[in-house]
Every structure is written in structure tokens, then in C-alpha cells.
Structure 1
Amino acid sequence: MQLLAPMMLLGATAVTVPIALHFFYRARYKPLPWAPMKFLKEAIEQTSRRLKFQEWVLLALRCLALVLLALAIARPGRESASPSGNETIDAVFVFDTSYSMAARDGERTRIERAKEAALAVLETLPNKSSVQVYSCADRAHLLGPVSRYNRDQAKQVIQGVEVTSLATDFLPGLTDALTAAESGTAPAKEIYVFSDLQQTGFTRQQGAVRAKCEEIKARANLVFIRCGNPERKVSNVSITDVKLIAAIPHTRTRVPFVVTVRNTGREPIRGVKVSLELDGKAVERDVVQIEHIDAGANAEVTLTGSLDEAGARLLAVFVDGDGLEGDNVLYKIVGVRDKVRVLLVAHPFAGQPATDAGDWFARKALVPFDADRDRDKIEKYFIETESVLPQEVSPDKLAGKDIVYLLNAAARTDDPLSGLPPAFVTKLAEFVRAGGGLVIGCGDLVQADAYNRVFGGAGLLPFPLARGTWEATDSAPFVPAAESIDATSVLGQVKPYTDWLRRATLTRVLKLDEAAPNGGRVLMRTTDGKPLVASRVVGEGEVIFFATSLDETWGRMMSDGQLAVPMTTYLVAHLTGRKVPGGTRTAGDTLTWAPPVTAPGFELVKPRPRGAKPGDKVRPRVKLPEPKAEVGQKLTVSTADALVAGEYAIVPVGAPETDGITFAVNPDLRETENLDAITDSELEKLLGFRPAIITAGAGTETAVRERRTRGEWTHWFLLGLLFLLIGEAAWAWSCGKAW
């Protein structure tokens, strides 16, 4: 039993007062001889035993009343943290480091409140107790201290806790916390979770979280420290997307970027400003203010930026004016090119010279100029094409190319003089896996069996080809269905392109075997549901397969310039974007690089602060573990230490950033899908029991001390005292006794 006010037990010495009165009262009697008393002696002797018994009962009741009063004032209770009587505790602190913890409630952020509360809880731990500190978002990480019994180290660790760009999930932190607590030697275990108690942290893996909390309840004391105001609704705008519409990024151009922002809060927000940076340089002319966004609504703004240098450029979009900074930025690696080089492999039209091959429509869509009038423009244009016949193409033609078009190109059969050479097909598969793009258009020379054997065997078909084609008439042709386009695909759902699609007419469509799983997906269908365009990701590259011809032999899809040019632009922008080294990732993703040369070691270059100049040497570096390669596989370097949004690079030790690979890491937007905090009653319902929940603030230390006793017994002692006094009064009245 624990006494919160043990000095009050001194009041129990008042029990001597009724004892003294009892014996003093007896001492006042003096024997006096009196003759009539002889007649009363017999009656007195008969009742003396009853009188003594009544007096002893009254004495006991009065003494017990004073003892109960003293105990009640001393505030007795049972020490729940030390059931065996040992005062030491193994404590584990779990900090929610998701970026909602950076929201402000008043003058301080929630993570600052969490640190203050943790230091207060640390002061309540008995001597020789241990403490371990974990960070937790969607993964848990032990922060320290080096010695679990060193409180000074623990204070330093707590003060150094920082938020990440990850989303909330309490399960990893609770799991590791229980394991850490049970690794200690003290019989009492306490786990403290410092968080704004965001709903999604409990509901993302609701069943597993409930089971883990029940397990912790059976083995330790689980206490949630609420570090935010559940009544406060955070105003927040997230940047959900930034893309180039119908534009292929190349040098010496000013490119429009369409930015999509979403109000994830519960109330409308006004006056949000959107700005753009390219390689750390702000584009001041294109700061746009959004006057009003309703709750749950999206808004789009267009910003433009000049692309001056070729290579991987870092695009950053920022918003200002909401209550949470964690998702106020979106990064994207944009591959800027001086030239885009395309190889066109096509048979000539029947009875026509090779110069009039079946790639004419594709070339016109790629380079939309007249060959005679605009020769100077063609030579200066950023897209270069090279045409070659299928039977004459060689593997060295792929050198320096970005995209390959196979237009009605026959796969080689038994005739060594027909179709694509096997060596070229083998090199083409390597080209795609390395990040190249491949576009396949059909025609009369595309035979299902040969294509399945040659290209299917090389892993370059989204679906196996079925024998035969679907036929239509000029009066009732097949028509592409714009509504069938996968919204996340390369083709997009952008007007007026989708309106132009309805003008295309097709007379033949090759059959695809959709029932055979091959890693592909259909991007667009005809209005009667036939698969028209399919794709398959192969390594770092992608294959786009048209089940119709890309000339006029099977329809009029490519002969309409208003349709052919934007569709080709989408394809080229998408396929060249896949070849950008590094790329865009989400916080917590694993960054992987296959370096072209070996090095004694590699480093992860972390983000520079916003506003720093690109040349500033402010980016910290972390040595990465030695890379390993499986037998027959390339050497790869990997790290999962990209927890904060920004620009990262993997480079050889000591090498400049340009010698490695660059990654853009964005916040995990799952964090702001629902910013509501869970209430005490909701948490009780979700877990199946009422956990201890303490609000961070000035009374945290006192609240923790009181919670450490599993309910004081003071009210029971006072209730017992009340009944005792009532019983004593009734007994005294019946006996004719009083104080």
C-alpha cells in the first residue's frame, strides 16, 4: 500500500484521547459506605458485566474512528506499478513523429508539448528506473539512450526528437515498446505514447492495434499523453500532384506545370499561395494565390518555369497559408533533354519505295513540320527520328536512342531474311529494361504466333496475342472510348484530346488474350469494350501496345493531326520520363541505385534546408552499409533512411552530388487524409477498454503520479468513517453514554 500523504498518519495518535478519557472516567469513582447500598449490591452485580461490555465497545468504536480519519487524510492506495513492492520501473517513451505533430496549438507545436510532457514524466520515475525512447510513425526506431539507466542521456534524446514526413501508425511503436519494456529487469512496466492521437493511427491496422493494446494492458501500464487539442480543427492544404500537360521537357523552353492542391481540412480555406522552384531557384513571377478552397475540394493552378540545362532537374512546389507545414511541398525529378531520339522500325507500304515506309504518320506526329518548307525547323527541333527497315535493323541502332517504334514490323519466322533479327530483339529487351520506351503498332504483318514466340518470350508483350482480328465496316467502325481511359495512365483524361478521340474510326483491331496474366493492363478500349491500347512495365522501361495500326491501313487514328500529335506527345513525355535516373519517391520508401562503377563506399546525401543555395555545403551525409550483389546480379546500393521530404542523392564516398543519382522524396499524404483526433470515448470503444489518457501540460507530472496508483482508497475510508460514526452515535445513545 502507498500513502500519498504519510505525515497525516501522525493524526492517528489522537486515539490516545478516548483511551485516556475512558480510564480517567473510571478513576473518578470513590467508594463511600452507605447502608441502603447493601440492598442494591445484588442488582449492580447483575448488570456490571453488561455495562463494561458497552463501555469497551464504545472505546473501540471511537478509537477506530480516529484511526480511519487519519488514514483517509493520508490518502492510501495500492501501488499498481510495483505489485511486488519494488519501486523501480522499466519505462518506454514512444513519440509520434508523423508530421501532424508539427501543427501548432497556440504558441507551441505538438511535438514541443510532447517533449515537455516526456521530461515531466521522466521526473516522476523512481530511482534506479530505466527509460528507453522510441520514435514512431509508420515504423518504429530506437533513439536511445545508450544506457537505459542514464537519465541525462534520456533528456538529451527527448530534446532531440524531430518530426518526419511519414504518416501515423501506432502498431510498430506499440510492438517495439512492449518488447523493450519486457527486456528490463524491474517487475513494473510503463509505456507512454506521446501523440496528438490522430484517428488514422489507430484505424489503419485497427484489429492489430487493439490486440496489441490488450496485450500491453495485461503486462504493463499503458498511458497515452494527448499532445494536441482534439477540439481544434487544423486548416490544411496538400499538394497532391504536379504535371506537365502535353509538354516534353527540353532545354531553352518555358514549360507550364499544372499543380493540384486539396483542402483536407474541415473548413474552407482562403488566401493560399502557391510557388515554384527549379533547382532551388524560386520563380517569383509565378506565385499564384488561391482565393478560396472548400473543405474536401481540389483546386488547380498553372505555374511556368524555364528549363535551361539538360539533365535531371529538381522541381519543387510550395504552398503557404495553412496550419500544417508537413505537406506544403511536393518534389518531382524532371528529365530535361537537349534531344529526344526515336528509332522507327517499319516496313514500306506495298508497292512503294522504302522512303515512303509505314512510319510516315508516326514521324509527322513526332516532328510536326513540312519536310520541304520547314527543314531548318526540323534540324533544330528537339525530337530526332531515324527510320530503318525491320530486316536491316541491328542492335547498334539502339545506341543513344530513347524510344523505339515498331510499326507493322514482322517477327522473324523460319525465313532468315524476313522480320526482325534475333540479336536486335535481345538488345531491345535490354534497352527497355534499362528504361527505354517501346511503342508497338499492328498491321497485316503482325502474326500472333510469331509475336508471342519472339516478343512474348522476351517479356515485351502486355498480353499474349490471340489469333485473328475483329473486323468492322466503314459505316459502322470501331471508335476509341475516351471514358474507358485509365485516369492514371499515360493517355490521361484531358480535354480537348478526349473529344478528338471520338473522331477516330477503326476498321480492324487485333485480338488480345486478356485472360492470360502477363503483367499488362488495358489503357483504353473501343466503345464496345475491345482492348485497344495496353501497356506493360518492363524493368525501368515500359511497352505501349496498339492493337490497331498507326497508319491508315486499319483506320484513321494517326491521320488526324489534332489527335495524333497530342497522343504522341503524351507517349513521348511519359516514356522519356521513365528514363530519368533516380526519380520521385514517398517518405519511407527504399532508395536503390545500381552504380555503373564500383567504389570503396557510398553515402546518402540528405536534403538541404529550404532557401539554401545549391552551392551551399550544408547537406549532411551518412555512410551507407557496404553494398552486396547476388550471384549474376548487378551491385545495388539501398537505404530506407529517407524519412523527411526533400532532395536526396546516393554518391560514392567523398564524391560530388553530380556523380551519383538524385531522388525527390515527398511527404506521405495518407497523414492528412483525416486530421481528426480520436476522442477518449472513441478510443475506449475502439480498444475495448478505457486506457489512461493524460493531457500534456502543466499538470502532467501530477497526473502521472496519481495515475501510478490504481485508484486511491481515501473515499472508501471516509465512507467507512461515516458509517462508523453513525453506528457509534446509535450505540452511545442506546447505552446512555456520551463524550
Structure 2
Amino acid sequence: MFLAPWFAVAGLVAAAGPILIHLLNRRRFKVVEWAAMDFLREALFRSRRILQIRDLLLLALRTACILLFGAALAQPFLSATADAGASQPVHAILLIDNSLSMSYQRLGGTVLDEAKRQARSMIENLPRGSRISVLPACGLPSGATLDAHYTKQDALEALESIQWVDRQAKPRETLDLALAAAGRTASPARKQVVLFTDQQVDEWSAEQLADQLDQVPGGVKLIDLRSDPADVENSYVAEFGVRDAVVDLHTPATFVAVVCHQGPNERRAVPVSLVVEGQVVQTVIIDLLPGQRREIEFEPYPFDVAAEPGRPYFAAAEVVLPPDRLPGDDRRVLVVPVVAALPVVFVDQFGRDEDPRRGRYGETYHLRRLLAPMGSQAARDKQLVRAEHRTIDE
């Protein structure tokens, strides 16, 4: 069988060329009776037979070269087993779960490393002429494509470039990637979709995805990489933020973190550190029980930065746990805008033409005095709200 049978047909047609040339170039002799040549007849007969054999051998070699060249372009293959379909080329679509949980450390590396190892073995054993799509389940990175790779080497390089990301794999979006990749490559017509995942998302069930699974040609083969629940132990930072939405120079900021723990064993004396601008400013020691979700409120932290009214200073803050077998979720980073004052625009009928001495009070007068009370210049410099009074026309 051939992957490209038209090349075989073209080679067969081209092989007729040397035969036609041989027939057209055959020498035709005119017989002339000459008595003196009778003595050489026997010697000439032997020489002529040798030349004919040589010409036939050259003709056979030229024809065979053209036939073999056409056959090579047609990419022949043989089925070595009774199951001929197993040796036919296939469009393999490999979906690699690269969510955060795939970075969990095992003895031989991460779960993602194990997924790559099994995917690499599958790529190397694909039939000759197969096309291979290697897709990360958490979305294509910038510059990536849905087009299938034509060589195993290109597919292996694409596989090695996949890295875990701090995201959750979404089953429906992952299957949409597989359907899109299958539609981009028409040949080979036979598709093989394989998903490598640790199934940390509850939605990885055939019942919930039945409508999409019916559209996937050939179905989806699942490579289950889940760890034994008895061996899984992980502490992680679930949430991190500031108690108030705004941090100003005159009010210390209160940071709040939520730390969770999964696993069969209690974890004692866990240091939870608050880092601001690269410096550890506070550390809290806690104990974590299996399945516990604990909120930690750090002591108020005063920012001493060069912020100007209307121009916030952005400070980097993070909360850090000691590394464990899933280090990707042991820290959370937050960019905190620190402001000296917040400009708030008040719009009413008078704007800057308001004159309390003449009894001209705008409709926003009392609200402005409540949020930004009048006082000494030093007191006004420390106010968070800086009132801007305008009319609707302004």
C-alpha cells in the first residue's frame, strides 16, 4: 500500500520512457551482399549478441530506477500484523494538561514530566506518515498553532516546550481545541485523540461532556495520571489581598491571606511570611489540620513611599509558605496601589462659583464637608479624599 499512490502511477508512466527511446533508436541495417564479409559473419554474430544483451540490461536498469523513484515518492508501507489499521498513518491529537496541579512533585519528577514521557513514547511509536498535533490543555501560548506537525522531531520539540501554568484546565475548552485541530488537518482521515491529565477538575466526566465527546472523531483516549489520595499532601495560599480596597500613606494597610491544607496528616509550625518590596516584614507561625481553610490577618503595615496626589505608587507584596511537593501554589503576589489622596469630583449647580457668604450652597456641599472636612492645611494634606468642585458644563 502507498501513502501517495499518485506518485506510483506517475512512476509507472515515466518508466515507459526508456522503452520508447530504445525502440525508436534501434539501428536498421541495409543488407548488401559482399562475398568478403562471409569470413567475418560468425565473429560479427557473436559481437552483436553481446551488444544486444548489454542494451537490454541498460534498459532494465533505467526503467527500474524510474519505477523505484516513483515508488519512493509514493511512500509504500506494509502491514506487519493482522490489524492493518494499527499500521496505517493517523492524525494523532495529544492534549497535555498543563494546569498548576500537574507540577506536583513525585519521585521521578512532576506529573507533567510523566505526561510528557508517555506522550513521547506514543509519538515515537506512531506509524510512518502520521501527523501529530501537540496541544496544551490550558490554551495555546503566543505564537503557537493548531496545525499538525509533519515530523516526529517537530512534535517532540513542541511537547518539550509545554510548561505548567497557574491556571485550571477547562474540559470543554480542551475538547474545543481537539475539534479545531482535527478540522485543520484533512489527511490522514483517521484521528486519534489522547488526553493526558490528573483529573483534578470534577467536570472530567463522560456524562457531563457527552455532547462534545460525540463530535470528536474516534473518541478520546484518557491517560489517567492521578496520584494516590493517600500520598497527596499539599499546603497552598488560596487567597491574598488587602482588607480595604484602597491603601493610603496615612493609614496602615491590613493584609489578609487564606491558607489551606490537603492531606492525611497535620502540619505543625508552618511559617507564613508577608513580603513587601522584597523584604520580609512579618511572619506568622500556624498549625494546619487536614482539610483546614485558615484565614490569617497580618499586623497593619504602614507604607512609607513617595506617592503624590493623583499618582499612586504601586508596591509589590506577597505571602509565602515553605516549599512542598507542589511549589507553584506556595506563594501569591499582589500589586498594591498606594495613594496620597484620591481626587473625587463633585458636580452641582454652582461648582467653583459656590459662595457660602452669600448663601450660595451647592447641592453637594454637605457631602463634600463629610468626606473632606475643612481644617488646617496640615489636616487637609492628610485627607484621603481631595474634593474637586465642578458644574455639569465643566
TM-score (norm 2): 0.63
Instruction: Specify the alignment match of 2:241 in structure 1.
Output: 242
CA apart distance, 1:127: 1.8
Distance in structure 2 (CA, Å) of the matches to 1:210 and 1:80 = 30
Q: d(CA) in 2 for partners of 1:181 and 1:134? A: 12
Question: Aligned AA for 1:327?
Answer: D
CA deviation map 1:272-316 (0-9, x unaligned): 4333344xx223231333233551423222152524032251433
Q: 1:286 to 1:107 in 2, by over 3 A?
A: farther
Cα distance per residue 1:325-357 (max 9 Å; x no partner): 333343444332233334556799x99955899
Q: Distance in 2 between matches of 1:294 and 1:87?
A: 51
Aligned equivalent of 1:114: 115
How far off is 1:201 after superposition? 4.4
Q: CA deviation at 1:161?
A: 0.7
1:256 corresponds to 2:260: no
Partner residue in 2 for 1:334: 336
Cα separation, partners in 2 of 1:381 and 1:355, compared to 1, 3 Å? farther
Once residues 215 and 147 of structure 1 are traced to their aligned partners in structure 2, the CA distance between those partners, rounded to angstroms, is 19
Tell me if the contact between 1:115 and 1:158 (Cα under 8 Å) persists in the aligned partners. yes
Q: Report if the CA contact (8 A) 2:275-2:281 is conserved.
A: no
Task: Report 1:495-510 matches (<5 A).
Answer: none
Pairs within 5 Å for 1:359-398: 359=365, 363-364=369-370, 366-367=372-373, 371=375, 375-383=376-384, 385-386=386-387, 393-394=390-391
**Residue of 298, 301, 311 corresponding to 2:297:** 301
User: For 1:405-430, what per-residue CA distance to the aligned partner results, in whole angstroms no more than 9, with x for missing partners?
Assistant: xxxxxxxxxxxxxxxxxx25xxxxxx
Describe how 1:576-725 pairs up with structure 2 within 5 A.
none
Give the distance between the partners of 2:103 and 2:246, measured in 1 at CA.
37
Deviation at 1:242, TM superposition (A): 0.9
1:223 matched to 2:225? The reply is no
Deviations for 1:347-390, whole angstroms, at most 9, x for unmatched residues? 99x999558998457525544x8x3xxx25324324465586xx
Q: Does the 8 Å CA contact 2:346/2:364 hold for their aligned counterparts?
A: no
1:314–1:331 Cα contact (<8 Å) kept: no
2:246 & 2:146 partners in 1: Cα distance? 51
Q: Is the 8 A contact 2:247 2:336 kept in 1?
A: yes
Name the SS of the counterpart of 2:328 in structure 1.
Answer: coil
CA distance in 2 between counterparts of 1:99 and 1:285 reads 28
Tell me the equivalent position of 2:83: 79
Q: d(CA) in 2 for partners of 1:343 and 1:199?
A: 46
Give the deviation of 1:191 after TM superposition: 1.6
Considering Cα pairs closer than 8 Å and 6+ residues apart, tell me whether 1 or 2 has the greater RCO: 1
Q: Is the 8 A contact 2:274 2:282 kept in 1?
A: yes
Return the letter of the residue paired with 1:118: A
- Aligned residue runs from structure 1 range 349-360, under 5 A: 353=359, 359=365
Distance 1:119 1:361 in 2: 67
1:265 equivalenced with 2:262 (yes/no)? yes
Q: Would you say 1:194 and 2:196 are equivalent positions? A: yes
CA shift, 1:249, in A, is: 2.3
Determine helix, strand or coil for the equivalent of 1:120: helix
The whole-number CA distance in structure 2 between the counterparts of 1:106 and 1:312 is 44
Q: CA deviation at 1:112?
A: 1.0
* Partner deviation per Cα, 1:478-498 (whole Å, 9 max, x = no partner): xxxxxxxxxxxxxxxxxxxxx
Cα 1:156–1:386 shift into 2, 3 Å: closer
> Could you say if the C-alpha distance between residues 243 and 223 of structure 1 is closer, same or farther in structure 2, counting changes exceeding 3 Å?
same
Give how far 1:109 is off: 0.8
Q: Distance in 2 between matches of 1:289 and 1:378?
A: 39
Amino acid across the alignment from 2:181: A
Q: Which residue of 1 aligns with 2:281?
A: 285
SS of structure 2 residue aligned to 1:306 = coil
**Percent sequence identity over aligned pairs:** 16
8 Å contact kept, 1:178–1:191:
no
CA contact (8 A) 1:181 1:189 kept: yes
Looking at structure 1, the residues matched to 166 and 321 of structure 2 have their Cα atoms a distance apart, in angstroms, of 17
Deviation at 1:87, TM superposition (A): 2.3
> For the structure 1 residues 366 and 184, does the alpha-carbon distance in structure 2 shift closer, same or farther, using more than 3 Å as the test?
same
Cα separation, 2, equivalents of 1:362 and 1:133: 60
Q: Aligned pair count?
A: 300
Q: CA deviation at 1:261?
A: 0.9
Give the direction of change, closer, same or farther, for the CA distance of 1:81–1:265 in structure 2 (3 Å limit).
Answer: farther
Q: 1:165 is paired with a residue of what secondary structure? A: coil
**Paired amino acid for 2:257:** T
Over residues 134-173 of structure 1, what are the superposed CA-to-partner deviations in whole Å (9 max), with x where a residue is unaligned? 1112x46694697622111111111111111221222222
Alignment match, 1:169? 170
For the residue of structure 2 that corresponds to 1:155, the secondary structure is helix
Paired residues of 1:346 and 1:387 also in contact (CA < 8 A)? no
1:462 corresponds to which residue?
Answer: none
Following the alignment from structure 1 to structure 2, what is the Cα–Cα distance between the partners of residues 177 and 385?
54
- Distance between the aligned counterparts of 1:287 and 1:152, measured in 2? 49
In the TM superposition, what are the counterparts of 1:435-584 in structure 2 within 5 Å? none
Contact 2:320 2:332 in 1 (8 A): no
Give unmatched runs, 5+ long, in structure 2. Answer: 1-79
Computed over aligned residues only, the root mean square deviation of the Cα atoms, in angstroms, reads 3.8
CA contact (8 A) 1:88 1:126 kept: yes
Alignment of 1:96-111 (within 5 A): 96-111=97-112
Change over 3 Å in CA distance of 1:170–1:140 after alignment to 2: farther
**Counterparts of 2:127 and 2:302 in 1: how far apart (Å)?**
60
Q: Which runs of 5+ in 1 are unaligned?
A: 1-75, 396-422, 425-739
Residues 547-571 of structure 1 deviation map (CA, whole Å, 9 limit, x = unaligned): xxxxxxxxxxxxxxxxxxxxxxxxx
**How far apart, CA to CA, are the structure 1 residues paired with 2:363 and 2:162?**
65
Name the counterpart of 1:213.
213
* SS of residue paired to 2:118: helix
Quick one: distance in 1 between partners of 2:221 and 2:112? 17
Q: Can you list the C-alpha shifts for 1:33-65, whole angstroms capped at 9, x where unaligned?
A: xxxxxxxxxxxxxxxxxxxxxxxxxxxxxxxxx
Distance 1:97 1:386, change over 3 A: closer
Asked whether the equivalents of residues 88 and 127 of structure 1 are also in contact (C-alpha less than 8 Å), the reply is: yes
User: In the TM superposition, what is the alpha-carbon distance from 1:96 to its structure 2 partner?
Assistant: 0.6
Query: Conserved in 1, the CA contact under 8 Å of 2:257 and 2:319?
Result: no
2:327 corresponds, among 325, 328, 353, to 325
TM-score (norm 1): 0.36
Q: 1:250 to 1:199 in 2, by over 3 A?
A: closer
Q: Secondary structure at the match of 1:223?
A: strand
State the one-letter code of the partner of 2:136: S
Equivalent residue, structure 2, for 1:66: none
Separation (CA, whole Å) in 1 of partners of 2:126 and 2:388:
78
Q: Distance in 1 between matches of 2:388 and 2:133?
A: 66
1:159 matched residue in structure 2:
160
Q: Which amino acid aligns with 1:222?
A: V
- 78 and 312 in structure 1: CA distance in 2 versus 1, 3 angstrom threshold: farther
SS at match of 2:336: strand
C-alpha distance 124-133 of structure 1, shift in aligned 2 (>3 A): same
For residues 191 and 320 of structure 1, what CA distance do their matches in structure 2 show? 39
Q: Which amino acid letter does the alignment assign opposite residue 193 of structure 2?
A: I
